[in-house]
Amino acid sequence: MKKCLTCLFLLLLTLLWAGCMNDDSLYDFHKMVVNKKGHAVFIVNEGNFMYGNASLSYYNPQKDEVLNDIFYNTNALPLGDVATSMIIHDSLGYVVVNNSGKIYIINVNTFKYVGKITGLTSPRNIYFVNRHKAYVTDLYAKAITIVDPATRQVTGSISIDNHNPEFYQHSSEQMVFLGKYAFVNSWSYDNKILVINTLTDKLVDSVTVVKQPNSMVMDKNNKLWVLSDGGFKGSAYGQDTSALTRIDPLTRKVEKVFHFPDMEASPTGLCINTAGDSLFFLYGSWAGGAVSHAGVYALPVDARILPDRPLIPQGNHLFYALGIDPGSSHIYVSDARDFLSRGAVYVFSHRDVMLDSLRVGIIPGSFCFK
């Protein structure tokens, strides 16, 4: 009995001491303090669904410097559950955390928390129309959410006429702007590019493409290129061969369609170089099928046929996301590995020479170039 009372007394004393501690001082001891100016790349690591282990990595290619978990290490705050994208606007970084339903805002030099946007259902990406208006694509909202970046408040929504609101998660571009119009791909079980008037925030038109468009870019000739994965075998929506489509955004007419020959193929991650004259994409199978000659492909915008060999072969890797640095035109491709352990990022020159390899967080899913 005396031993039990002594243990109970020590336990209460320990809890009392812990309760009197200054939590801020404890956290400050662990926080990273930096001021990283200049060119860099942020890698958004999705983490595992429902595990809350999303993270943000930082890479300075000039100094060959990699910092992992920069959001947590700077702010003593977990990033959340499934980070899908990041964009920089007015020197602030907006990190979209899908399953947590929020967008964190950070200083891109110090990585310090600045604020957040909430009131979202399942956000995927944020795109800025102007200083007081941004569009947020969403998995379940059945609408495009309008937010005011200045107040960080939701100000409205755009009905997308019952089109499926799920936009492909690790695509480079899912919304492209030309003049007053925004072109938006509607991916899951759909075959439309939606046209939004950004002055009225209304859906005004759509363009039919091959099933499940997942990414888009605008080239130097103001032609819109759309990459579609075609769906998957056994889908209730049916399956097409995947394709790359060129659209005139002024007339909204399809001008050219390149069909990929392999039904198992589901290319993703369409990107374009700085000059706007060469397309890049990942050729593989997100549905898990075996695809010959998987890897990173390049295609000049004036090409007449699809390439039959990759610029960068996938080999034993599991290529997951693709990005092109607008400053250097270097190619960034992530390797998700087993989707459980930390992933990798490989950096190549535009001539496919490997420049660097990085160890990053779990499931590196997108890139943001500073």
Distance CA 282, CA 294 (A): 8
Closest C-alpha among 191, 182, 146 to residue 164: 191
Per-residue confidence in pLDDT tens, the chain, 370 aa: 444 444 444 444 433 333 443 434 444 546 889 889 999 999 999 999 999 999 999 999 999 999 999 999 999 999 999 999 999 999 999 999 999 999 999 999 999 999 999 999 889 999 999 999 999 998 887 889 999 999 999 999 999 876 654 554 455 458 999 999 999 988 777 899 999 999 999 999 999 999 999 999 999 999 999 999 988 877 777 888 999 999 999 999 999 999 999 988 899 999 999 999 999 999 998 766 678 899 999 999 999 999 999 999 999 999 999 999 999 999 999 999 999 999 999 999 988 899 999 999 999 999 999 9
> For residue 138, what pLDDT is reported?
85
CB 343 within 8 A of CB 351: no
Distance CA 54, CA 324 (A): 22
Q: How distant, in Å, are the alpha carbons of 79, 180, 185, 335 from that of 76?
A: 9, 41, 36, 27
Domains, the chain, ranges and CATH?
32-159+357-370 (2.130.10.10), 166-315 (2.130.10.10)
Distance CA 196, CA 158 (A): 9
**Residue 8 DSSP code:** H
CB 101 within 8 A of CB 147: no
CB 127 within 8 A of CB 103: no
Q: What is the largest CA-CA distance in the chain?
A: 88
CB 352 within 8 A of CB 362: no
CB 54 within 8 A of CB 83: yes
> For residue 163, what pLDDT is reported?
66
Helix (H) or strand (E) holding 4: helix 2-20
> For residue 287, what pLDDT is reported?
62
Q: How distant, in Å, are the alpha carbons of 276, 295, 300, 310 from that of 282?
A: 18, 6, 15, 9
